[in-house]
Amino acid sequence: MTDPLLDTLRAIVGAAHVLDVAADMAPFLNDWRGRYHGNARAVVRPHDAVELARVVAACAAAGVPMVPQGGNTGLCGGATPLADGAAVVISLARLNHIRAIDADNDTLTVEAGCTLAAVQEAAAAAGRMFPLALASEGSCMIGGNLSTNAGGVQVLRYGNMRELVLGLEVVLPDGRVWDGLRGLRKDNTGYDLKQLFIGAEGTLGIVTAAVLKLFPAVRSRATAWVAVPDPAAAVRLLGLLRADCGERVSAFEIVGRAALELVLQHIPGARDPLAGTSAWTVLVELSDPAADAPLTAQLEAALTAAFDKGLASDAALAASAAQAQALWALREKISEAQRVEGISIKHDVSVPLSRIPEFLARAGRALAQRWPDVRVVAFGHIGDGNLPTTLASLRSAGRSTASCMTWCASSGARSRPSTGSGSSSATRSCTTRRRWRSS
């Protein structure tokens, strides 16, 4: 017995791109962590915005729910269909073209199915940089980055995805196409409609293309792994670095000991760059477009001042690009290590920067009182107040999430299931040299 909707979809995109056999659909029905599993009426893979618009119109006319899906790297099941099998999964993977690059305007127009890595490479080929950087950049797609308002490790300097976009093209829920692909930095012609779709997770429309901002290519970096006494010291250290180094501070990531231990335990070749076992560390990076910028000397001077003020107790400064990559691997492999460890409940919790220490202390106490065996694994982009906070426990992880959400609401924090992802890239060994120790 034929399915009239699937026949219509085959006529639009071609029979080879309408998948309805279980084995063919399987990769699209499970999340990256393997925690969420669904079913679908079919998986449809349109080639461009025109085909996608026709697919959406056909599904809307039939009253069939749709689940847009990019690289399927999320951690909260948002791209996984429900188990009832009623929905059509719409994969954006074939919308993967670089439409245009305007080096003079510092813009790049790309389709939603382009991986973040492909966008970065296209920008680099033009002598520019697209600054969004995520652990999953080899597989996550721009459409998903836009739909979740991704931030990444350089949000401190360049902002969230919302700040990196000038225009969008979107297929609306009834199949109409909204063309907002403008490369204007100042556009006072009316409402800024693109902002409605950024962070909306596909609920208001499916992003098909975007005009992205480009920046001067980075030609020098200085990277350090720094032990700090506590989160309050980390916040103060960030203030010191900003005062001394200005906009050259491009990344400032906090990593709790529990998160680092997971990486050391589960990721082959991972090594602790410091001799001690500090409860908290931060990953700091300075960057500059000038190849001869004295970043290493500037970072050394700032960290020396931090030691004098009691804001840091030890540090390892990368002496090569390979060592810097090894330091970054310790941060980027946390999600992968958590997947190996077992069940965990992930949240993105955002609080004002000044209240991060209070949040970590109060949340830890409240959760420990309710569930003594809960382990709070905290790490993240401290520069924008966003902490991917994970709850893990052999017995109580499944019961902890409601309590965490309730606590966040009562304390003024904003929490949502995490939309981040791990990376599948190879782990690099770390052989950084220690540059300072406090007396």
| pLDDT tens-place string over residues 164-205 | 999 999 999 999 999 999 999 999 988 999 999 999 999 999
- The predicted pLDDT at position 61 comes to 97
Q: Give the pLDDT of residue 393.
A: 56
Of 53-62, 132-141, 213-222, 400-409, least confident by mean pLDDT is 400-409
At residue 11, does pLDDT exceed 60?
yes
Reading the block at residue 80, the tokens are 């996984």
How does pLDDT run across 288-318, given as a tens digit for each residue?
Answer: 999 999 999 999 999 999 999 999 999 999 9
Q: What is the pLDDT of residue 364?
A: 87
Task: Give yes or no for a contact between 241 and 302, defined as CB atoms under 8 angstroms apart.
Answer: yes
SS3 content of the chain, % helix, strand, coil (to 5): 35, 25, 40
| Helix/strand/coil for 421 | coil
Q: Are 421 and 133 in contact (CB under 8 A)?
A: no
Are 25 and 142 in contact by the 8 Å Cβ rule? The answer is no
Assess whether pLDDT exceeds 80 at residue 2.
yes
Per-residue pLDDT for 282 more than 80?
yes
Mean pLDDT throughout 80-109?
96
Lowest mean pLDDT across 72-86, 100-114, 142-156, 418-432? 418-432
Average pLDDT over residues 101-115: 97
> Which pLDDT score is estimated for 32?
83
pLDDT band at residue 438 under the 50/70/90 scheme: very low
Of the ranges 160-164, 265-269, 342-346, 421-425, which one carries the lowest mean pLDDT score?
421-425
Burial 203-229 (b: 16+ CB within 10 A, else e): eebbbbbbbbbbbeebebbbbbbbbbe
pLDDT at 416 over 70: no
* Residue 61 structure tokens: 């006319």
Using CA atoms, how far apart are residues 46 and 437, in angstroms rounded to an integer? 57
* Mean pLDDT, range 140-151, rounded to an integer: 94
* 72-86, 280-294, 308-322, 422-436: least confident range: 422-436
The DSSP secondary structure of 218-278, one letter per residue, reads P-EEEEEEEEESSHHHHHHHHHHHHHHHGGGEEEEEEEEHHHHHHHHHHSTT---SSSS--
Continuous segment of H or E residues that includes residue 147? helix 142-147
3-state SS class at 127: coil
What's the whole-number mean pLDDT along residues 123-142? 93
How confident is the model at residue 376, as a pLDDT? 84
In terms of pLDDT, which residue wins out, 77 or 182? 182
